[in-house]
Chains A and B, each alone.
Chain A
Amino acid sequence: MNEMTTTWSTMREVQPVATRMLQNSIVKDRIAHAYLFHGPKGTGKQKASLLFAMRYFCEQADKSYSEPCYECSSCKRIQTGNHPDVHFIEPDGQSIKKDQIEYLQKEFTYTGLESNQKVYVLHQAEKMTTNAANRLLKFLEEPSRQTVAILLTENTGSVLNTILSRCQRIQFHPLKSEDMYEQFIGEGIPESTAKICAALNIGLDEAKELSQDSWFAEARRIVIQLIDKVMNPKEEGYLFLHQVWLNHFQERHQQELGIDLLLLWYQDLISSHLNREDMVVLTDQLDRLQQYQYTISLSDAKTCVYELLQTKRKLAYNVHNTLAMEHLVLQLQR
């Protein structure tokens, strides 16, 4: 077992309630047939599901002890994704596709390969189409013996009620951003990146990646440029959007990150209007913030935040990126 391995006891420090509930259900032999782990990104849902699966299959499991051994062949194979009776389903692109659910349905009807124990982990369960979710319902209604389904989601609102009511819900609380910041700094991530990642609730691994990524550095520079353009009525924000922004933020997750970064700017503007400098995230840009505080009023900043959130929603509904961004820039310039 190396230092990086997550155990229930390390999980407990960040997610005391969720961890205790899961540990108790294991120790007291009251494992539900379906769980819904819900909570924001980076709160350890996936690690918890892996731990749970390992303990469920662990060959040296001790009845009164909820930790898996990490060393038996089942534990090892679950970590490498080679255990034949543990199935992970992740959205293929934008949604969990029909054939993925069909695969799962087929698996439900077969016995296990090594034993009759089976675990299914469904990532981003909210990305199931209604059709797919209804197919899954059938299994949740008539669970077969010794099968555990774990659904992970960031957004319970998008999961069908009929599914919610059939799962035991385990809530994963968002991490405190100060805690995350400390963690990032400890891992050697530069201060300004650490602040942004903590504010955006980005997990440790992704934060590390971003801090090494020249794309992200460039993205931050472009965001500042766009802010400069829209704050200055003489500048052509629209032109800048087409010449620079759209070329840089191409993939869906990049587009979302771009808007999140813009959101940080307007949140910081609101913070500085309210004289809450301690809340400001972009501490390296204090000068600019002070300057723009005079350009844009508190209520305007609020309207802009609202517009940004609208744009985020539009992208989620598959509105064309260029159109959504054009609209956004026009609104911000007003």
Chain B
Amino acid sequence: MKIVINRDQLMQSIQNVMRAISPKTTIPILSGMKLEANEEEVKLTGSDSDITIESIIPKEEDGIVHIHEVIPGKVVVQAKFLPDIIKKLPEDLVEIEADGELNITIRSGKAEFTLNGQDPEEYPQLPVLQTENSFQIQTDLLKTLIRQTNFAVSTSETRPILTGVHFKLENDQLELVATDSHRLASRKIAMNEETDSLSFKNIVIPGKSLGELNKILDDSQDSIQISVSDNQILFRTKHLFFLSRLLDGNYPETSRLIPEQSKTEVKVDSKELMQTIDRASLLAKDNRNNIVKLETKENNAIEISSNSPEIGTAEEVLNTNEISGEELKISFNAKYMIDALRAIDAEEIKIQFTGAMRPFIIEPLDEGEQILQLITPVRTY
């Protein structure tokens, strides 16, 4: 294999791929990065077995030549030193050559490095994902979906399936759900007609993988293709493939958890509520559960308070836009509430309560965005 390639282009690809490579892997070959060259493109692959990132450098793009010379082939190169070597090379052009004995030579200007490679046949074989099982979505929309749900995944391993976000595509509607059994975040979007034949459910993507995906994607309007197979999901942009293993198991049925009727409904300005709760929770933060209390008052007002016996109390009255239904006193975790309000990101929201001991739901008042946040209260102190 031999390639002569632009250094900046290569460096960018390496940086993307390095995100998937973990220094403490138990599988020796995964400490390396796979380089694969053919007449049209150079492909870099890195993996920690949970996620796999492939970055593609086309030979030529928009009239700019990235790869000047190619002899097809592939090799696995130690990933640990590669970024530093490429970054510090003297010239803009880099030549990478691998001989039959898996010795890799990197040349630029008068600098030359020789690295020991590994056998590319030893590298994990990634599943070839069928394009018929795929659909497209805008990249920035996908990022929003992830941001609005991924925070609610469970961090404890007691119910491993809850550490992921559930993707469900049915009747042209894509739904993402995440819950840690104390709170739940759900977001639905309508898909374009292209997906009508496609439906899947019980695809659960690890929260960690989605976090990485969110970091690596740019906020662009370009579309990203999502393909699903039995054991992997592939997110595919023009030059970047992101694969993640899935969580094995059945995701619990979450639709039953969402109460259909409410006894008390509060409509309130989202930003004001968030700031009020943030202030009230200042004293509650030391407290293990970070609990604040919400109480309905007369004249459409609510009182937010917290009480930490050893420190003191905080109280604040907030005017709402409308309160209907029964009077209510309820306590909940302030962090969950702030997370939920941030995820909704609407000016005005409505909160629907069904009694002090039942979960309550928060939705934007403007129902254009189908987002729903559910929080379980704690017993009133």
**A64 interfacial by beta-carbon distance below 8 Å:** no
- Return the CB mask of A106-128 against B: 1 if under 8 Å, else 0: 10111111111000000000000
The distance in angstroms between the C-alpha atoms of A83 and B249, with both chains bound, is: 23
- Return the CB mask of A126-145 against B: 1 if under 8 Å, else 0: 00000000000000000010
Which residue in A73, A106, A110 is a CB contact (below 8 Å) of B125? Answer: A73
Question: Interface stretch among A74-82, A164-172, A215-223, A310-318?
Answer: A74-82
The distance in angstroms between the C-alpha atoms of A111 and B230, with both chains bound, is: 8
**A84 in contact with B157 (CB, 8 Å):** no
**B245 in contact with A112 (CB, 8 Å):** yes
Query: B52 to chain A: which residues have CB within 8 Å?
Result: 113
**B245 in contact with A113 (CB, 8 Å):** yes
Q: How far is the CB of A60 from chain B (nearest CB, A)?
A: 15
**B28 in contact with A113 (CB, 8 Å):** no
**B46 interfacial by beta-carbon distance below 8 Å:** no
**B27 in contact with A84 (CB, 8 Å):** yes
Query: B28 to chain A: which residues have CB within 8 Å?
Result: 80-82
The distance in angstroms between the C-alpha atoms of A87 and B25, with both chains bound, is: 12
Q: Which of B203-256 contact A (CB under 8 A)?
A: 206, 230-232, 245-249
Residue of A nearest to B230 (CB): A116
Question: Interface range on chain A: under 10, 10 to 19, 20 to 34, or 35 or more?
Answer: 20 to 34
**A81 in contact with B231 (CB, 8 Å):** no
Which residue in B126, B157, B161 is a CB contact (below 8 Å) of A106? Answer: B157
- Contacts known (A81-B27, A110-B246); A105 close to B124, Cβ less than 8 A: no
Q: How far is the CB of B214 from chain A (nearest CB, A)?
A: 19
Q: How far is the CB of A12 from chain B (nearest CB, A)?
A: 30
Residue of B nearest to A59 (CB): B125
**B30 in contact with A84 (CB, 8 Å):** yes
**B50 interfacial by beta-carbon distance below 8 Å:** yes
**A102 interfacial by beta-carbon distance below 8 Å:** yes
Residue of A nearest to B249 (CB): A109
**B160 interfacial by beta-carbon distance below 8 Å:** yes
Residue of B nearest to A107 (CB): B49
The distance in angstroms between the C-alpha atoms of A114 and B161, with both chains bound, is: 20
**B14 interfacial by beta-carbon distance below 8 Å:** no
- Contacts known (A82-B27, A82-B29, A116-B231); A144 close to B125, Cβ less than 8 A: no
Which residue in A73, A102, A144 is a CB contact (below 8 Å) of B248? Answer: A144
The distance in angstroms between the C-alpha atoms of A116 and B247, with both chains bound, is: 11
- Return the CB mask of B151-178 against A: 1 if under 8 Å, else 0: 0000001001101000000000000000
The distance in angstroms between the C-alpha atoms of A106 and B50, with both chains bound, is: 10
The distance in angstroms between the C-alpha atoms of A115 and B229, with both chains bound, is: 10
Query: A76 to chain B: which residues have CB within 8 Å?
Result: 121-122
Residue of B nearest to A87 (CB): B26
**B122 in contact with A109 (CB, 8 Å):** no
**B23 interfacial by beta-carbon distance below 8 Å:** no
- Contacts known (A115-B231, A116-B230); A110 close to B247, Cβ less than 8 A: yes
**A111 in contact with B232 (CB, 8 Å):** yes
Q: Name A's B-contacting residues (CB within 8 A).
A: 73, 76-77, 80-84, 87-88, 102-103, 105-106, 108-116, 144
28 pairs from A and B in contact (CB 8 Å cutoff): A76-B122, A77-B122, A80-B29, A80-B122, A82-B29, A83-B27, A84-B49, A88-B26, A105-B157, A105-B160, A106-B157, A108-B160, A108-B248, A109-B163, A109-B247, A109-B248, A110-B248, A111-B231, A111-B245, A111-B246, A112-B231, A113-B49, A113-B124, A114-B125, A114-B126, A115-B127, A115-B230, A115-B231
Which 4 pairs of residues, A with B, have the shortest CB-CB distance? A109-B160, A111-B231, A82-B29, A84-B124
